[in-house]
Amino acid sequence: MNKETKFAQDLIDFIYQSPSPFHVVQNLRKTLVSQGFDELDLREGWQIKKDGRYFVTRNGTALIAFVVGQGQVEKDGFRLVGGHTDAPTFRIKPAPEMVENGYLKLNTEVYGGPILNTWLDRPLGLAGRVTLKSDDIFYPESRLVNINRPIMIIPNLAIHMNRKVNEGIELNKQKDMLPMVTLIDEQFEKNDFLLKLLARELSVNPEKIVDFDLYLYEYERGDIIGLNNEFISCGKLDDLAMVYTGIQGLIQTPVNQSTNVMVCFDNEEVGSQTKQGAGSPMLRTVLERIVYGLGKEKEDFFRAIYSSFMISADMAHAVHPNLPEKHDPVIKPRINQGPVIKINANQAYTTDSDSDTVFELICQKADVPVQKFVNRSDARGGSTIGPISSGQLDIRSLDIGNPMLAMHSIRELGGVMDQWYLLKALKVYFGD
C-alpha cells in the first residue's frame, strides 16, 4: 500500500471510529494527546508558551487545536483552518418507542439535509452522548455510547405495492423514515426499551440516565474502491475528510513563526448558530485568550487578527459522470485533480482574488494541482462555515474543499489522491 492509499485508509478508519460528533472529538482528543498536545479547560486560567501545543473542546462536539508560533502573535498572526464535525443524519426523539403491527420502531427527527432514499435498506447503528445524574446538578455526567451493531433498518416498500417508485417518490420524514428495531410479542418489554439498552451498554442503573443525544449511522465501514483503488467510498466525507486532514497537517508541521490553528466547529449542517458553531464567538474567544495568555494586550489581539489568514475547508462538488449539465459549462472540478477553490459572486463563499491567489501559490509551492468551483448562474448552491465565521472575525479568508460526488448521501465518494494533495498543501500553509 503506497503512502497516498495508506492516508486514505487511515481517514476511513477514523470515520468508522467516529459515528457521532462526540466520537469525532473524542478521537481527535486521543490523537492530539498522543502527539504531545495539552488540553486546556475553558473554565480555568491558561498558562501557555511559545512552541506549545494545546487544544480545547466545547460541548464535546467542537474542538480547537493550536500550536503557538515562535514569532510575535501581533505581527505574525494566526494561520487557521476550519472544518465541521457534524453530518446529515437522524436524531432519536425523547420517548422514542413506537409499536405498530408487531414491529418496534424508534421515532426520529431529521438532522440537516440527508439524501433520504440512500438511508433505506441499510444496516444502521446508534451512537452519541448519554447524560447522567451527578452530585452537581449544573454539571451532569456525560458518557459516550456506540452501539456498533446493525440493530436497525429503514425498509423500502416493495415495488409491487408502489409501481411508480422508479418514477420518483417523495419520502415523508415522519412516516417513511422511522427505523425498525425488532419484532415484539406479548412477553417483550417495550416500555423504556432504549433507556434499558443504553443502561446495559454503559453498565449503569436506568434511573441514573436523564437524557441523551443519539444519532443513527451507517453500520458498514467505508472502502477504497475503483479499478485502480482511486476512490474513497464512505459516509461523512463531508466534512470529516477536511477535519482529519486539517488535524494531520497541524500535527505534522514543525513550529512556525505564526500560531497555527485547526478549528472543528459543530452544527454546520443546521446553520452554525449554536454555542459550538461557526456563528458563535467560540473561535474569537479562544484566539483572544491565546493572545492574552502570551502576555499581550487587547490592541495586540486586534493586530493579530489583521495579520491572520483562514482557510474554510468543506467538501466541494465534482462534475457528475451522468449529469455534467448540472455544473457550470466551463468550470468542472474532477476527482483526484486537486483541492477546489470555491467562488460565489453573492458571497456564499468568502473567496476573493486576494485569498484565491494566496492558496494557488501555496498549492504551487506544494507541487499540488488546484481547481475552482462556481455554481451554474441559474442554480443556487450551498454555503459553509467561511461566511459565517467572517461574521465573527474579519480575517482574510477563502473557501476550499476536495471534489466529491453524492454529497449528503449515506455513502459519499471522494478521491484518494485529493486527500494527499490537501495534506501537502496544508503543511506548506502551516509551515511557510
- Based on the fold, state whether residues 153 and 68 are members of the same structural domain: no
Q: What percent of the chain has pLDDT over 90?
A: 88
* CA triple 391-90-406, angle to 5 deg: 75
Q: Is residue 230 situated within a structural domain?
A: no
On the question of pLDDT at 302 being above 90, the answer is: yes
In this prediction, residue 384 carries a pLDDT of 86
Q: Is residue 347 situated within a structural domain?
A: yes
- Based on the fold, state whether residues 66 and 99 are members of the same structural domain: no
- Based on the fold, state whether residues 312 and 421 are members of the same structural domain: yes
Domain interval for residue 306: 3-87+235-431
- Based on the fold, state whether residues 188 and 252 are members of the same structural domain: no
pLDDT tens digits along 87-127: 999 999 999 999 989 899 999 999 999 999 999 999 999 99
What the block records as the C-alpha cell of 257 is 513563526
pLDDT tens digits along 64-81: 999 999 999 999 999 999
Question: What are the φ/ψ torsions at residue 210 (nearest 5 degrees)?
Answer: -105, -45
Residues in the chain: 432
- Based on the fold, state whether residues 94 and 77 are members of the same structural domain: no
pLDDT tens digits along 174-190: 999 999 999 987 666 66
- Looking at residues 155-169, what average pLDDT do you find? 91
pLDDT tens digits along 308-321: 999 999 999 999 99
- Based on the fold, state whether residues 83 and 122 are members of the same structural domain: no
In this prediction, residue 186 carries a pLDDT of 65
Q: Is residue 186 situated within a structural domain?
A: yes
Domain count for the chain, please give it. Answer: 2
Cβ burial, residue 283 (10 Å; 0-12/13-18/19+): buried
- Based on the fold, state whether residues 37 and 137 are members of the same structural domain: no
- Based on the fold, state whether residues 13 and 127 are members of the same structural domain: no
Q: Is residue 224 situated within a structural domain?
A: no
390 — pLDDT class (breaks 50, 70, 90): confident
Cα separation, 246 vs 230, whole angstroms: 21
- Based on the fold, state whether residues 241 and 380 are members of the same structural domain: yes
Give the CATH number for residue 415.
3.40.630.10
- Based on the fold, state whether residues 78 and 113 are members of the same structural domain: no
Cα separation, 73 vs 303, whole angstroms: 8
